[in-house]
Amino acid sequence: MSASSWSPGRPLRVALLGCGVVGTEVARLLTSDSEELAQRVGAPLELAGIAVRRLGRERDLDVPAELFTTDAAGLVARGDIDVVIEVIGGIEPARELILSALDHGASVVTANKALLAEDGATLFEAAHKAERDLYFEAAVAGAIPIVRPLRESLAGDRVQRVLGIVNGTTNFILDAMTTTGQGFSEALDEAQRLGYAEADPTADIEGFDAASKAAILAGLAFHTRVTIGDVHREGISDVTAADVRSAAEMGCVVKLLAICEQRETPDGPAVSARVHPAMIPLSHPLASVHGAYNAVFVESEAAGQLMFYGPGAGGAPTASAVLGDVVSVARNRRSNVFGPGESTHAQLEVLDIGLARTRYHVSIDVDDRAGVLASVANAFAEFDVSIRTVRQEGSGDDAQLVIVTHEADDAALSATVASLRGLDMVRDVTSVMRVEGGS
């Protein structure tokens, strides 16, 4: 470690990697609020450099031009940097830059959910070795404080379940489908027009973004190393207007949920982490989360049920979370201490999706003739999936059975669906959706 320790009287030097929407807002707040931040930290924060891809790009930012550099590797390796803020995203070069920053004695604040979900272990090990902080509040749910509550405030409690709406794009689309009756494509077009969805929305609508956040939340909640490869992922591109209408008829809405829970198995406690669309009752707190907002619902043994709600993305909200971390690590640097690192002492098994248990809503196109209901019911019974309600919609060529089950294993439901598709009186299983958040 080549950096010298901080000494009273000198500013704490901050390097910023990335100057996009979030980075620009971080730099603006560091400069415009410098006096107040200094009071909170107990020492001035000096913006020592900003690494960007292109120097000539126009930026709405009033900082000296000489602070900008394209040499990110050189900036983090200077040896006089106290805090490095990484908001460039992606896996590389972000990983190497963070590792270099830690190796050269800087603490790190990052918003990089993808990197933490894929290879957080390497980063945490490097931070522990360097005796420096690695903070990442902005990596999950933007401005909503959820990382620190799970990492610190609930460290003495036993978290049982975390349910989250952690992607604003998908929540906006599903909310639009619910409130306007639009189909998926129309709602996506509207989200892109309003700037809530990227030109290539794959990471959002196919659940990759939410899965990264679910991995981070599960690791924090259950003190177990969870990567994105451990998270079952389904997106919302197959959600139809008919699914949304069916949910409404049940007194539910459709949301893309990140669900992390601890379950008891014959071999002891284990962790389940999954991301998929689900119907939730209108009475559930998450049902009232509209537009591009995020919310995380935590169930714990002692504290009970907790709800964290707010804007989950955007320059200013995310920058707020980044600056909160910067103040914390800067205070630690002044005191020559470092905060909590990775907590993996539980080392619980991460369950396959087949062992996850929930209720299901199943729509089946069937022939309208005698014996169909009995055959369908037998297919459910064969795999020990108990039917809670059943109703028929339409008649003749438009006949459809809509079945809601009691709780069942995901594997049993999948086997049931495969069996149904093999019946000659079943034209198609048109929709299978999980039902969460109710009894």
Catalytic residues: 213
What count of other Cβ atoms lies within 10 Å of the Cβ of residue 371? 9
Does 23 appear as a known binding residue? yes
What count of other Cβ atoms lies within 10 Å of the Cβ of residue 387? 15
CA dihedral 320, 325, 331, 332 (to 10 degrees): 180
Distance between CA atoms of residues 216 and 219, nearest Å: 5
Distance between CA atoms of residues 14 and 84, nearest Å: 6
CA dihedral 189, 195, 196, 197 (to 10 degrees): 60
Does 342 appear as a known binding residue? no
- The CA R_g of the chain, rounded to the nearest whole Å, is 24
Query: Token pair for residue 202?
Result: 């794959």
Evaluate whether 305 touches 299 at the Cβ level (below 8 Å).
yes
Within 17-93, residue ranges assigned H as helices are 21-32, 34-41, 72-76
DSSP H or E segment with residue 128: helix 113-130
Does 310 appear as a known binding residue? no
Does 17 appear as a known binding residue? yes
What count of other Cβ atoms lies within 10 Å of the Cβ of residue 307? 12
Does 22 appear as a known binding residue? yes
Between the two ends of the chain, the Cα-to-Cα distance in Å is: 55
Evaluate whether 104 touches 1 at the Cβ level (below 8 Å).
yes
Does 162 appear as a known binding residue? no
Distance between CA atoms of residues 419 and 244, nearest Å: 25
Does 90 appear as a known binding residue? no
* Residue whose C-alpha is closest to residue 276's, from 432, 439, 419, 111: 432
Distance between CA atoms of residues 359 and 354, nearest Å: 13
* Residue whose C-alpha is closest to residue 322's, from 330, 115, 168, 99: 330
Does 20 appear as a known binding residue? yes
Specify binding-site residues for L-homoserine.
Answer: 198
Specify binding-site residues for NADPH.
Answer: 113
Specify binding-site residues.
Answer: 17-24, 113, 198
Specify binding-site residues for NADP(+).
Answer: 17-24
